[in-house]
Amino acid sequence: MAPSGQGYDCTGNCLNGGRYYPTNISLTTTTPAIADAILTMSGVNKGGQGNNNSVERFNPDLGNDGTWDIISKNIPIDRLDTNQQYPRLHLFPDGYVFYSGSDPQTQLFNPNLPSTDPLQWQLKAMNRCERVHGISVLLPFVLAPNGLLPNGSNDPGAQVLVAGGHNHHPGNASLCPLLPPNNAPTVQKTADVYNYKTDTWDAVADMTMPRDMHQAVLLPDGKVVILGGEDKVCVDIVNDCPGTTACEPVYTGDLYNPITKTWTQIPAPPISQQRPRQYHSGAILLPDASVLVDGGETDYHCYSGMTAQIYKPGYFFRPTARPVFHPTNPFPNGNQMIYGQAFTINAPNADQIAKVVLIRSSSVTHSFNPDQRYLELYITSRPQGNSSLVVMPPANQNLAPLGYYMLFLVKETTPGNIDTRISSVAKFVQLVTPTFQQSLRTRPRR
């Protein structure tokens, strides 16, 4: 689809099978790096006949339509359910794709190996719970002066937070119980963090409430906000309509601190402002650093939420003024960031800026945002003292795929204290390769 409003272009070929509720994520491309490749996985086949267990990649081609190619013919997941809808996938800094659920058996996929290679899929550590309709978030990366993770691509910075969701099948009886007398699914409030370096799932503190069908958003201060959801699983979809208590919405929020690995409850809004945010709800970060929360259906299809609300995190209400960019010339060399090449930012009181943060423009559906990505850039210098910063962008596309990002300036009223961070309003930047930058000048118009 052309953002200029010229309509849709057909790609060179169709998908090789139906996909109802798949997950799509961006992948690195090589020659030429003009756009991200797209990986699509899972989803129900055309006609609803089981799960589509192939993996396909869309390969963009300068001046042509690009192609869809099958790169894996069978997902080797020991399925607990018939269908795997919206699998939780994350692009890791080494180019591998990590599958974090909803099955407890997590896996690692190498999109650059042939499907005949036994190492294309690798089993990784088991999570303690099945997490259907749970959240999965790639936690922030803190980059080194060279634009890479400090200790390489297997740095502990490659971490994934999962929380909540429900289980259909017995797991550890003490951790993931089913409800008697009929083994009904249980909504979890447990949370775990996957550490790529050690291949372990580590339990962190529980959320303050059980949640299913909730939303998770990375904030510029480095915390993760959880909003919406319900505390029970709807079993009787036909009869459980508004006025019943079978699927009670959760109106409080939860705020995860990745440093202390603890949660803080966000109070519910006044009753007059409470809106259920359950199935088909969404939440996404806005450029002013607030969160848009919208939609939602109670009990799947009994009520359609036509409303939207704004959540403002605590940094909106601190007495210290928010940092700002230069009002007319925030980026003296333009808003295109090139991988691994220094980038200059003009900002008054630049000496007060503690962090410069990139957060990828993203999309959310069914309690999952596969594009959500947070990178803290290394500040290499402040050449004009109080009026500019030079930062080092990510070194490659595995850390941060091509495209548009919100760039936030963050200051700390108490150095090193995450609870005192204050975010600016974002400016959009475009992360590009030199090849991509050149292709913009030569790409034919349709």
Structure tokens, 50: 């089981």
Mean pLDDT, to the nearest integer, of 393-420?
A: 96
Mean pLDDT, to the nearest integer, of 320-331?
A: 96
**Banded pLDDT at 441 (limits 50, 70, 90):** very low
Of residues 436 and 109, the one with the higher pLDDT is 109
Query: What does the pLDDT look like over 79-110, one tens digit per residue?
Result: 444 457 899 999 999 999 999 988 888 999 99
User: How far apart (Å, rounded) are the C-alpha atoms in residues 143 and 204?
Assistant: 24
**Banded pLDDT at 34 (limits 50, 70, 90):** low
At 392 the pLDDT is 98
Mean pLDDT, to the nearest integer, of 7-19?
A: 73
At 200 the pLDDT is 95
Query: What does the pLDDT look like over 121-174, one tens digit per residue?
Result: 999 999 988 898 999 999 999 999 999 998 755 566 689 999 999 887 655 444
Mean pLDDT, to the nearest integer, of 1-24?
A: 74
Nearest 5°: the CA angle 208, 101, 153 is: 100
204 pLDDT higher than 90: yes
Q: Which of 119-123, 200-204, 248-252, 367-371 has the highest mean pLDDT?
A: 200-204
Which contacts qualify for 302-311: CB closer than 8 Å, 24 or more apart?
Answer: 302/240, 302/241, 302/242, 303/241, 303/242, 303/276, 305/275, 305/276, 305/277, 305/280, 305/281, 307/275, 309/269, 309/273, 309/275, 310/286, 311/225, 311/227, 311/253, 311/266, 311/283
Span of 122-131, 252-261, 388-397, 429-438 with lowest mean pLDDT: 429-438
442 pLDDT higher than 70: no
Q: Tell me the average pLDDT of the chain.
A: 85
**Banded pLDDT at 17 (limits 50, 70, 90):** confident
Span of 20-29, 167-176, 215-224, 324-333 with lowest mean pLDDT: 167-176
pLDDT above 70: percentage of residues in the chain? 81
Place of tokens 């303690």: 128
For residues 24 and 40, the answer to whether their CB atoms sit within 8 Å is: yes
Of residues 190 and 6, the one with the higher pLDDT is 190
At 79 the pLDDT is 46
Q: Which CATH fold would you assign to the domain 320-442?
A: Immunoglobulin-like (2.60.40)
177 pLDDT higher than 70: no
Span of 26-40, 68-82, 250-264 with lowest mean pLDDT: 68-82
The three-class DSSP label of residue 269 is: coil
